[in-house]
């Protein structure tokens, strides 16, 4: 019987930086309408993994499939054209531009011909659409014309998330989306994640906050030392179980016992 292919499948992804093996064996299966959390200690390879899935860097080995079709993404632009949008750990917003210009960065709307022929931008349309996006996503910023540089960390994060959500047609990837946020803003981002999941989009989220992960994720993949070592449905595991896998507590205990 024909089973629908997953939204995204990454198999055996490897990445090395000189002598450092950042990623030994990255595996991930993402279904439509699923929030999939990737957890793991610092340096486990999480960011490297999602940078490969979002076209920022290329893997040395391994395959990526979107809806069952093998893809090669040589740039974030190619990933975007496949419907994959990413909020990076280090944000990558243009500080001197306002929210509207950031939302449309690289995808500017031109004025109708003949002015558009000369590259003149349709700022009104971009602002109007940005305001509509912000409202739809229930994001509160005072003005879409305020430069991002003058915004708080949380507002900036909201703009970055809004940009990903506005353009992510299939998959939205977020690397530590709430790390810099206050309680209220974090709740807003989590609400946003639920909202886009309900639209059938697949969300990959990296987070160090396990309460947050258990609050919002449907599935959890644990990475350790460059490998995805396990993947669970969120309701089939516990915080303790995940921590044990993340830290390799059992293995360390055994080593300590042998050494002692």
Ligand X SMILES: Nc1ncnc2c1ncn2[C@@H]1O[C@H](COP(=O)(O)OP(=O)(O)OP(=O)(O)O)[C@@H](O)[C@H]1O
Interface map 148-187 toward ligand X (x if CB under 6 A) = ----------------------------------------
16 vs 123, beta carbon nearer Mg ion: 16
- If binding means CB under 6 A, how many residues of this protein chain bind ligand X? 11
Residue 76 near residue 54, CB atoms below 8 Å = yes
Residue 228 near residue 221, CB atoms below 8 Å = yes
> Tokens 């893997």 belong to which residue?
59
CA-wise closest residue to 237 among 228, 226, 245: 245
Residue 216: CB atoms within 10 A of its CB come to 20
Residue 64 near residue 50, CB atoms below 8 Å = no
Interface map 45-74 toward ligand X (x if CB under 6 A) = xxxx--------------------------
- Identify what 189 binds: Mg ion, ligand X, none; CB under 5 to 8 Å per kind: none
- Residue whose Cβ sits closest to Mg ion: 47
Q: Are strands 202-206 and 69-70 parallel, antiparallel or unpaired?
A: unpaired
Of positions 25, 47, 54, 155, contacts Mg ion by CB under 5 A: 47
Of positions 32, 33, 43, 248, contacts ligand X by CB under 6 A: 43
Specify the length of the chain in residues.
Answer: 260
- If binding means CB under 5 A, how many residues of this protein chain bind Mg ion? 1
Helix axes 123-136, 153-167, angle to 10 degrees: 100
Q: Rule CB under 6 A: say whether 44 interacts with ligand X.
A: yes
Interface map 7-46 toward Mg ion (x if CB under 5 A) = ----------------------------------------
Q: Are strands 84-87 and 35-39 parallel, antiparallel or unpaired?
A: unpaired
Give me the residues that bind ligand X (CB under 6 A), please: 17, 20, 22, 40, 42-48
């Amino acid at each position: 019987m024909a089973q629908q292919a997953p939204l995204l499948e990454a198999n055996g992804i490897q990445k090395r930086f000189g002598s450092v093996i950042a990623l030994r064996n990255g595996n991930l299966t993402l279904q439509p309408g699923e929030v999939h959390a990737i957890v793991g200690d610092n340096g486990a390879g999480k960011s490297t993994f999602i940078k490969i899935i979002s076209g920022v860097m290329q893997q040395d080995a391994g395959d990526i499939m979107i809806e069952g079709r093998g893809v090669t993404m040589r740039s974030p632009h190619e990933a975007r054209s496949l419907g994959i949008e990413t909020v990076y750990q280090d944000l990558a917003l243009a500080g001197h531009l306002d929210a509207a210009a950031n939302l449309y960065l690289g995808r500017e709307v031109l004025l109708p011909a003949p002015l558009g022929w000369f590259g003149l931008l349709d700022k009104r349309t971009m602002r109007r659409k940005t305001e509509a996006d912000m409202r739809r996503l229930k994001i509160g910023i005072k003005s879409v014309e305020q430069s991002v540089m003058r915004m708080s960390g949380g507002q900036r994060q909201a703009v970055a998330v809004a940009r990903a959500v506005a353009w992510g047609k299939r998959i939205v990837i977020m690397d530590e989306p709430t790390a810099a946020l206050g309680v209220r803003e974090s709740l807003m981002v989590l609400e946003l994640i639920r909202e886009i999941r309900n639209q059938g989009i697949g969300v990959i989220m990296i987070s160090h906050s396990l309460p947050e992960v258990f609050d919002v994720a449907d599935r959890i993949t644990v990475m350790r030392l460059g490998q995805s070592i396990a993947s669970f449905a969120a309701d089939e595991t516990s915080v303790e179980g995940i921590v044990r896998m993340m830290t390799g507590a059992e293995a360390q205990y055994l080593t300590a016992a042998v050494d002692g």
